[in-house]
């Protein structure tokens, strides 16, 4: 019998700033999961860690010794830490709502589906995928994508978009610190909103320069966008005159204090943990916005999509229950071979877009995604046809091949 349990916490349980207790230990938690798998204490696990969520989906037998205290055994925190827990079918319902954006701080946000997919991919790379988790992945991601498309949840804004829109009021001279996925999303919003002067800062100068070259070649608003690049070390040592800064970087250190904030009018931080000195809120004339503040903004905007979300939640429950029955039955479903091919191909494309193909324009990325999905789906159908043909032939005929 399949035993799935989901434990974790998100922005509804604790303020995003308090999630750092767990998010800072993401790699340690993954190492612990690998250790528990090797010890036979669990059969499989997927860890989802974002700026406002840390959750572990566990395939663990009810007789396992760690079931008596999963929070401490897996996450390393006591029962006093605010957590939620879902068992069996309820864990699948919750994760499907998460993947569809129904449980996001920004309702319907677009990033979470890719983050869930990458969480499964990382689990596979670490040898943490059990058969039920493999079956769940092929069904869950496609169901989440269908729910988003059917209910118009793709119209929602991401956390990066909220932060970028808030920053625009600072003035024309802006900087984005962090050239990762979140920083790139924020830069894309700034470009589409007509920002004209943006500095991209990253620990590795070459990555900042590559992203700056990409952004400079994209259409902006009425005026072309002047995009420059700078290393983080140079930025911290001699910051150029700026009106506003957006931080989207992982760092154990504070990157901005009151002395270094002179001349700024707005600073927004979507890093986890925060890289801002708390004393910045006392600087006259400086407005500060962090994940806690964005959570309040997002809550107001969520009312617009609430009706669509309510419909999506009902549909998600039905889809999740059907997925759970499939997993419980443990029966192979050839129709899912198609989903597996497509999801694997798109996962590889997402990895390439974050790496060697990150220079591609958004339209080119989407066109490539459509072509790859079509090719993967057609290739999968050939495999299914061959398998069904073999199933229909006598055993002796198959053996003679």
Catalytic residues: 51
**Residue 199 bridge partners (DSSP):** 175, 228
Q: By three-state DSSP, how is residue 14 classified?
A: coil
Report how far residue 181's alpha carbon sits from residue 119's, in angstroms, rounded to the nearest whole number. Answer: 15
| Number of other residues whose CB lies within 10 A of the CB of residue 252 | 8
> Two tokens at 398?
């198959």
Nearest by Cα to 151 from 372, 310, 319 = 310
Nearest by Cα to 49 from 297, 207, 250 = 250
Q: By three-state DSSP, how is residue 50 classified?
A: strand
Residue 281 DSSP class: G
Report how far residue 115's alpha carbon sits from residue 390's, in angstroms, rounded to the nearest whole number. Answer: 37
Angstrom CA distances, 150 to 39, 101, 110, 311, 315, stand at 43, 13, 14, 10, 10
At 288, give phi and psi (nearest 5°).
Answer: -120, 135
Report how far residue 263's alpha carbon sits from residue 283's, in angstroms, rounded to the nearest whole number. Answer: 11
361 Cβ contact list (under 8 Å, min separation 6): 214, 217, 218
Q: Which residue has the tokens 């979507």?
A: 270
> Two tokens at 270?
């979507």
């Amino acid at each position: 019998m399949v035993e799935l349990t989901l434990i974790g916490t998100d922005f509804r349980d604790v303020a995003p700033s308090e999630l750092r207790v767990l998010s800072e230990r993401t790699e340690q938690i993954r190492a612990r999961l690998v250790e528990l798998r090797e010890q036979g204490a669990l059969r499989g696990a997927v860890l989802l860690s974002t700026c406002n969520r840390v959750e572990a989906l566990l395939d663990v037998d009810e007789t396992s010794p760690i079931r008596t205290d999963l929070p401490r055994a897996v996450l390393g925190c006591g029962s006093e830490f605010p957590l939620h827990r879902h068992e069996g079918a309820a864990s699948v319902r919750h994760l499907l709502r998460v993947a569809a954006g129904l449980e996001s701080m920004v309702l319907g946000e677009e990033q979470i589906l890719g983050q869930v997919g990458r969480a499964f991919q990382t689990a596979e790379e670490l040898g943490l995928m059990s058969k039920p988790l493999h079956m769940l992945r092929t069904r869950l991601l496609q169901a989440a994508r269908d729910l988003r498309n059917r209910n118009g949840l793709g119209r929602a804004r991401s956390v990066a978009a909220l932060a970028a829109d808030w920053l625009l009021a600072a003035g024309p001279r802006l900087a984005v610190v962090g050239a990762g996925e979140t920083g790139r999303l924020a830069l894309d919003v700034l470009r589409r909103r007509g920002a004209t002067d943006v500095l991209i800062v990253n620990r590795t100068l070459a990555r900042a320069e590559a992203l700056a070259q990409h952004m400079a070649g994209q259409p902006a608003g009425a005026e072309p966008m002047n995009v420059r690049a700078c290393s983080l070390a140079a930025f911290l040592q001699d910051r150029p005159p700026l009106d506003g800064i957006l931080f989207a970087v992982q760092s154990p250190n504070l990157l901005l204090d009151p002395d270094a904030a002179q001349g700024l009018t707005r600073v927004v931080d979507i890093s986890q943990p925060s890289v801002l000195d708390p004393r910045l809120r006392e600087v006259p004339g400086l407005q500060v916005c962090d994940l806690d503040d964005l959570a309040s903004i997002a809550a107001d905007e969520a009312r617009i999509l609430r009706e669509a979300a309510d419909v999506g939640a009902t549909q998600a429950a039905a889809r999740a229950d059907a997925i759970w029955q499939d997993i419980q039955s443990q029966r192979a479903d050839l129709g899912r071979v198609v989903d597996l091919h497509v999801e694997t191909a798109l996962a590889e494309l997402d990895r390439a877009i974050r790496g060697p193909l990150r220079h591609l324009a958004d339209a080119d990325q989407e066109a490539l995604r459509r072509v790859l999905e079509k090719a993967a789906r057609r290739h999968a159908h050939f495999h299914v046809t061959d398998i069904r043909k073999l199933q229909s032939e006598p055993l002796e005929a198959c053996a003679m091949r």
